[in-house]
Chain A
Amino acid sequence: MLLNELIQIPELKFTVKAGHEQLDRAIEGAYASDLLSHVMARAREGNIWVTIQAHQNIVAVATLLNLAGIVIAGGIEPQADTLHKAEEEGVPIISTPLPAFQVIGRLYALGIGAEADHGQTELAQS
């Protein structure tokens, strides 16, 4: 599924706050955590990331991992500098009034992230 298909699903109540130009990205799985190092270790390229962190460092994490985009849940408004950085780096930021649990449940019901492997092994056993 593409990001711009996802944002049109009414029950997710998604509003795009930054990265309008990057909504043609394909979503390949999802990851949820508010601890940035957990995301660094386990999120995969193309994932959509659900969090309640709204400060600008989430953009660096998404950029480093080539994530498809960030969903900020719980009605938390992303800070202005976060949106500015996201526009600069081309990272879609989406907000929703739904609590993280409900966002994740609804994404999962849509088949996003249901088959994900978020194991931690990085380098092959060499």
Chain B
Amino acid sequence: MTSTNSYDLSLPVKGRCFVTAGQAASKIKRTLETFNLPPKLVRCAAICAYEAEMNIVTHACRGQVGLRVTEKAIRIVAEDEGPGIQDVDLAMKEGYSTASQEIREMGFGAGMGLPNIKRCADELIIDTYPNKGTRVEIIIHLQTNGG
């Protein structure tokens, strides 16, 4: 890949569908594994993609997860049509979750999604609009992390 090249992928995510949940993140991980990147960064990107995808599945009606790989960074963008995040600061706190009891019993909704992403990402940008949706942009630098 040259500096002007980039690889793009966009994957739809169904809200409330636990049958297809995780497929977008798996596809992103498999794709990244073909780029000969440091395994540690692939792991980070896989965690980010999974948590972003599961946020769409557990909270939104529908959405998509996009991947862009350039020479400099892995960029994952998750966009959804959903309720939005009422209080982003609270959502960033480990253990805080608005997921239903049913979803928690499946082991989701531990209130660790966004904190997990923050821990793995170099940059995290959240734009959220009440009753419209949320856009989460995650950037993992390739050049400062030698893996």
Q: Tell me the bound Cα distance from A126 to B121 in angstroms.
A: 11
The verdict on A110 contacting chain B, using a C-beta distance below 8 Å, is no
In the complex, number of A-B residue pairs with CB atoms less than 8 Å apart: 90
B75 to chain A, nearest CB (A): 15
Contacts of A42-62 to chain B: CB distance below 8 A: 45, 51, 53, 55-61
A65 contacts B119, C-beta separation under 8 Å: no
The proximity string for B residues 78-100 relative to A, scoring 1 for CB distances below 8 Å and 0 otherwise, is 00000000000000000000000
Q: Is the CB of B46 within 8 A of A64?
A: yes
Give bound CA distance, A107 to B145, whole Å. 35
Check B43–A36 contact: CB distance below 8 A: no
Chain A residue contacts of B47, Cβ below 8 A: 40-41, 64, 122
Could you jot down 20 A-B contacts, CB within 8 Å? A34-B107, A36-B107, A36-B110, A37-B111, A37-B112, A37-B116, A41-B116, A41-B119, A45-B43, A51-B107, A53-B107, A56-B19, A57-B22, A58-B107, A60-B25, A60-B50, A64-B22, A65-B46, A122-B43, A124-B146
Please name 7 further chain A to chain B contacts, defined as beta carbons within 8 Å, in addition to the given A41-B47, A123-B44, sorted by A numbering: A36-B110, A37-B54, A37-B112, A40-B116, A57-B18, A122-B47, A123-B119
